[in-house]
Chains A and B, each alone.
Chain A
Amino acid sequence: MTDEARPSHYRPPTPWRRRLLRWEVFLALVVAADFAFNVQLSPYFLSTETLADVSFNFTEKALVALPMTLLIIAGEIDISVAATMALASVCMGLLATTTASLSAIVGCGLAVGLLAGAFNGALVTRWRVPAIVATIGTMSLYRGIAYGILGDRVLKDYPPAFAFFGQGYIAGPVSFELLLFTLAAVLCALYLHRTEFGRRLVAIGCNKTAAEMAGVRVNRYRFGLFVATGVASAAASVLLTSRLGSTRPSIAQGMELDIISMVILGGVAITGGRGSIAGVVLAAILTGLAIFGLGLINVPGVVVSLLMGALLILIVGLPIVGQRLSRTRAWARLRRTQV
């Protein structure tokens, strides 16, 4: 049965953890190459201030990419994250116009994220709407509400202390954003790779039905992940709004696709059941470096996106092309590592 139905180019795949390790090595090499490229571009690149600045290019997206990784590994997806960011930002901005305290403002933002995520979770678990469809809908809904409330106005009345989140430094070149991201990354990595919950998550992504039958409370996990993604989006919104100092309903427009690209670049299978946090962190760093480097030579944003899109396809497709051109075993192993 299992021995018979295989096509002629089949090669037995290596255990998935070794597979993924190779993907991360590959990514690390690309990161190093890009680093070197950036150094060539500008002599100031190696200064600590510059390196600190690089982090701002990816920490907000990467913060959302972390729970998104868990979500995608579990076989779901959330396209409404950027819209949640916008909605949270608008609510925070409105609250800021009153005499609310800093913690109330931040708390409000996080609460909005939590509710948005919970609604997504309910749609997917309770009303059984496929995640991609549900979140396309809520994406329009949340951003639509943001537009409806704010129209074409801008909110700028944030208290001065608010700027710390997005612009403050903890120690030397380490920004608050970077610290927050690092903590979140460590937490997510431990959750995924070292706890029983992470193992169940992977099982859910591999086969939801079988996992349920094995006693995994699948819907609880899915719901929880959507809530976590919502809260992370809100947290990223705090960082972003704080960094920009203002709120427009178009804030973070298009960021959902950047975040998902980051996750896929990190070696996570879009179909679920496979992936590592380390890969996504490397992908985040790579994205930050690339965007920063391109910014140094004044490449406009839309062209940067072009290059990132090409990079995504290249990195995902290159191993397969390699396998086709030369059927050596090294390429075949690399092929097994990609989505």
Chain B
Amino acid sequence: MSNNEPSANDPLLQLSGISKAFGGTQALESIELALYAGSITALVGENGAGKSTLVKILSGIYQPDGGRIALCGKSVRIRSPAHAQQLGISVIHQEAVVFDELSVAENIFVTARPRRWGLIDWARMRRDAGRLMERLDCPLDPGLSLRELSVAQKYLVQIARALSHDARLVIMDEPTAALSHHEAQLLLRIAAGLRDEGRALLFISHRFEDLFAIADRYVVFRDGRNVAEGAMPGTSTETLIQCMVGRVIERLYPKRCIALGEEMLRVSHLSRAEEFADISFGVRRGEILGVYGLVGAGRSELMQSVFGLTRAESGGIELDRTQIRPRHPADAIAQGIAYVPEDRQHQGAISSLSISGNITLASLGKFTRHGWVDGERLTRTAGEWAQRLQVRYASLEQPLSELSGGNQQKVVLAKWLLTAPRVLILDEPTKGIDVGAKAAVHALMGEWVQQGMAIVLVSSELPEVLGLSDRVLVMRRGRLAGMLDRSEADAATVLRLASAA
């Protein structure tokens, strides 16, 4: 790898006093970080703690305002992504850096296409790509357009890209966020393999079970500073969370015991070609129905059909014992069904619209008379709901993009709560938001079911599903694999149902 092999005690990469500010915000301040070859370092911190900024500095996209970066003891300035690659630093970003129109091979070698006599050598590119994908236990035709791959396969392509230039330092930013349990296990195995080959890994994740599975050391960021570090085996989830948040978080999954009412939603033999078949379930008032499945099991597709976004081809939906046939989300909302989509950035929140605009969008009819909008009442109501959900904001008119992920999600929830739904379908409601906001959302869910709402919780996070649900519906490949009561639902059973071949 490098000419002067570092001794086991010398860090491969050493950051000292790294600072970065954007406008008035100090994103990073005096960061000290040491990464060692043959070791996986976990980086944890809430959203906004500075992790992504650090990653962008290490990958050459940003330049630090101050401080020193030393690679194998020598000071370096990482000028650009291409330069970072030359230095042996490879980054797999949180947002997928993939190009759907290009082939697998070209995506892998997008920063370093093999050349012959100055021209791109496509044949060699295909061969090398094929070899890399095989190493990752994912034999794909390198000529396939990326559009045809699944989310997990796209991520593996990015890993292949990182491997393609023999990186000494591999940075993975939230790698398992969009992967199912099985795929995440595969990824962790690959990461461990990279470590065993002598590379240094920086692993950023919110999923503590993954970190405890493979990380050797940990570093905690809070508000742009590193506040704790140490060996992974010597700590616990609670300690880490405490360092991240600076305070003690009580019980992550509060479950209240409430009496369940009559059945509010009944889905019977719902089917939609190629997506799901013969799904039947019911949800009662005051109940939280967890829906678990591997990524691609068809959960979101099912919920979108119930919500009227797509049309089911056979089967029926009953709301409060009345047959309904929602042909458009507007129908569903009018009936009292609300759906919080999984993709907050593109489907849930409207970034350039104001907070009040977002909150009131689904219930504009409530503020109008003959089409005329009562602006004052609208703003007032929006403000009330923002307060109720404890959204942190500067002004109701500021664009939603200025809020943190957790606050954005609260605004999205406020939007749906304002429609006074009888059934609330939540699709991955706590994905990509920090621990504090997550706890707040769970607490709110408890309040809502107490008020008689029926909640369907679609989630890929097993602890969340098991902790909050009264019953768990398990889906596998578009079909119902099982329905478990809270008492009989445990991780092993649920996983077995979700992934049995």
Residues of A whose CB lies within 8 Å of any CB of B are: 1-8, 10-13, 15-17, 194-197, 199-200, 202-203, 206-207, 209-217, 273-274
Q: Which residues of B contact A210 (CB under 8 A)?
A: 346-350
A interface: dominant SS:
loop
For the complex of A and B, the 8 pairs showing the least CB-CB separation, nearest first, are A15-B397, A215-B330, A196-B364, A214-B362, A215-B333, A207-B350, A4-B52, A196-B368
B161 within 8 A of A: no
B354 within 8 A of A: yes
B405 to chain A, nearest CB (A): 5
B25 touching A3, Cβ below 8 Å: yes
A206 touching B405, Cβ below 8 Å: no
- What's the A-B contact tally at a CB cutoff of 8 Å? 122
B322 to chain A, nearest CB (A): 19
A206 touching B27, Cβ below 8 Å: no
Q: Which residues of B contact A2 (CB under 8 A)?
A: 48, 401-405, 408
B143 within 8 A of A: no
Residues of B whose CB lies within 8 Å of any CB of A are: 22-23, 25, 27, 47-48, 50-53, 56, 62, 309, 328-330, 332-334, 339, 341, 346-354, 357, 360-362, 364-365, 367-368, 371-373, 395, 397-399, 401-405, 408, 415, 432
A8 touching B22, Cβ below 8 Å: yes
Bound-complex Cα distance A325 to B372 (A): 44
Bound-complex Cα distance A16 to B401 (A): 13
A196 touching B341, Cβ below 8 Å: no
B329 touching A215, Cβ below 8 Å: yes
Q: Which residues of B contact A211 (CB under 8 A)?
A: 350, 361
A187 to chain B, nearest CB (A): 12
Q: Which residues of B contact A202 (CB under 8 A)?
A: 353, 357
A213 touching B371, Cβ below 8 Å: no
Q: Which residues of B contact A216 (CB under 8 A)?
A: 330, 361
Q: Which residue of A lies closest to B433 (CB)?
A: A1
B385 to chain A, nearest CB (A): 15
A200 touching B361, Cβ below 8 Å: yes
Out of A5, A195, A213, which one reaches B372, CB within 8 Å? A195
Q: A2-B405, A15-B395, A199-B357 are in contact. Are A213 and B329 (CB under 8 A)?
A: yes
Q: Which residue of B lies closest to A218 (CB)?
A: B328
Q: Which residues of B contact A16 (CB under 8 A)?
A: 352, 354, 397, 399
A4 touching B351, Cβ below 8 Å: no
Q: Which residues of B contact A200 (CB under 8 A)?
A: 361, 364
Q: Which residue of A lies closest to B344 (CB)?
A: A210
A3 touching B48, Cβ below 8 Å: yes
A194 touching B372, Cβ below 8 Å: yes
A195 touching B368, Cβ below 8 Å: yes
Given A8-B22, A13-B399, A217-B330, 9 other A-B residues pairs in contact with their CB atoms under 8 A? A1-B47, A10-B22, A16-B354, A196-B365, A206-B353, A209-B346, A210-B348, A212-B329, A214-B361
B404 touching A207, Cβ below 8 Å: no
Q: Which residues of B contact A197 (CB under 8 A)?
A: 371
Q: Which residue of A lies closest to B401 (CB)?
A: A2
Bound-complex Cα distance A62 to B348 (A): 36
Q: Which residues of A contact B47 (CB under 8 A)?
A: 1
Q: Which residues of A contact B402 (CB under 8 A)?
A: 2, 12
B23 touching A196, Cβ below 8 Å: no
A331 to chain B, nearest CB (A): 15
Bound-complex Cα distance A17 to B396 (A): 12
Bound-complex Cα distance A7 to B20 (A): 11
